[in-house]
Amino acid sequence: MSLKPAVNKNDHAQGNLKSDLVIVEYGDYQCPYCRAAYPVLKELGREFGSQLKFVFRNFPLSEMHQYARVAAIATEAANLQGKFWEMHDAIYENQENLNEKFLIKLAKQLNLNISQFEKDLQNPELGNKVDSDFESGVMSGVNGTPSFFVNDKKFDGSARDLLQIIRENATE
Amino acid sequence: MLQKGTPAPDFTLFATPDQEITLSEFKGQNVILAFYPADWSPVCSDQMALYNEMLKFFKKYNAEIFGISVDSKWCHFAFSQSRNLHFPLLADFEAKGETAKKYGVYNDKEGECKRALFVIDKDGIIEWSYLSPTAVNPGADGILEALQNLNNK
């Protein structure tokens, strides 16, 4: 199964943006398995950040996770102020406290313009961005979170498996 | 397992403790049947939870989805409530697995349905079927592709 659409300029990416090795995660901010994957992906970033591009797409399971969608929208709102990854990290690092009020608190800690942030949370365009990420995930064969893609191909394994395979290939 | 072009065998199964659903009553609509082994599989990678998030996509294609397992109506009731599911789970409970057997997706050894998907068109003909390895959640991309094909006909 391959990634539809391919990674493009609307995606949130970090690491080496010019790299040919591209990892995509579909994640849910309230999913405990995504929380567990988060430090592993940080490790991946520390070791191989100069060699790979890492992309995050939203896949909130809103019916199961009450705050997953609003958290995804909050990262998009933070993105408008240039702090997508800061918000992304802050949410995963504090997942157990996640709710609407706490997102505002995180925005304050990140020194975002709060009135703008609150306004953006209501912006339907950001909701549409999150929903279109979700739809792309479904079309790409995402069946749960987290799901990973390596160079557009679905990777059937955990973050730990992913890190291990990249390590093995790096030492060859 | 029944293949594309086969008329979908009719059935009547409990959807709630006091309500039954008959497949042939859904002629004129597309129907997705998702046979699965059991309620209460692990969260987050759960197939039914994924479909629950996708109802608006299915609606776009005028498609109803039914989950089917051999769990009883009361088990389905509790599972649905716990996962906040908004589509029916049918109990292939008495005679056990009868419907799964008609579709050729019963696992005799475990006494459960296999993990299998069917997309049935408005006239009750199977448009697409897919048998997934039991441990793998097949996702929904195949279903959506089949529905798109039906739309393009």
Count of the separate structural domains present in chain B? 1
B27 lies in some domain: yes
Average pLDDT for B100-108: 98
Mean pLDDT over each residue of chain A, to the nearest integer = 96
- Chain B residue numbers touching A138 (CB-CB < 8 A): 54, 57, 139-141, 144
pLDDT score for B146: 96
Through-space distance between the first and last CA atoms of chain A, rounded to whole angstroms: 27
- In this prediction, residue B41 has a pLDDT band, given cuts at 50, 70 and 90, of confident
The answer to whether residue A56 sits within a structural domain is: yes
| A100 in any annotated domain | yes
Total domains, chain A? 1
Q: Which residues of A8-39 are buried (b: 16+ CB within 10 A; e: fewer)?
A: eeebbbebbeebebbbbbbbbbbbebbbebbe
- Write out pLDDT tens, residues A36-83: 999 999 999 999 999 999 999 999 999 989 999 999 999 999 999 999
CATH of the domain at B91: 3.40.30.10
How confident is the model at residue B36, as a pLDDT? Answer: 95
Confidence category of residue B95, pLDDT binned at 50, 70, 90: very high
Is residue B51 assigned to a domain?
yes
Would residue B77 count as lying in a domain?
Answer: yes
- Per CB-CB distance under 8 Å, the chain A contacts of B139 are 1, 138, 141-143
3 state DSSP class of B13: strand
Average pLDDT for B74-96: 95
Mean pLDDT calculated for residue range B77-90: 94
pLDDT confidence of B43, banded at 50, 70, 90?
Answer: low
Percent of chain A with pLDDT over 90: 94
* Residue B138: closest C-alpha in chain A: A143
Q: What is the pLDDT of residues B57-70, one digit of tens each?
A: 899 999 999 999 99
Q: Is B6 inside a domain boundary? A: no
Residue B132 has pLDDT above 60, yes or no: yes
Question: Is residue B135 over pLDDT 80?
Answer: yes
Q: Assess whether pLDDT exceeds 90 at residue A140.
A: yes
Q: What is the 3-state secondary structure (H, E, C) of chain A?
A: CECCCCCCCCCEEEECCCCCCEEEEEECCCCHHHHHHHHHHHHHHHHHCCCCEEEEEECCCCCCCCCHHHHHHHHHHHHHCCCHHHHHHHHHHCHHHCCHHHHHHHHHHCCCCHHHHHHHHCCHHHHHHHHHHHHHHHHCCCCCCCEEEECCEEECCCHHHHHHHHHHHHHC
CATH number at residue A145: 3.40.30.10
Which residue range is the domain that position B19 belongs to? 12-151
Residue B1 lies in a domain: no
Instruction: Give the tokens for residue A27.
Output: 């994640």
Q: Which residues of B are catalytic?
A: 44
Averaged pLDDT for residues B93-118: 97
Task: Please answer yes or no on whether B49 and A1 come within 8 Å at the CB atom.
Answer: no
Q: Which of A48-57, B4-13, B144-153 has the lowest mean pLDDT?
A: B144-153
Residue B58 domain-assigned (yes or no): yes
**What local confidence, expressed as pLDDT, does residue B6 receive?**
98
What's the rounded mean pLDDT across residues A5-18?
96
Domain of A33? 12-171
Q: Which pLDDT value is given to residue B42?
A: 66
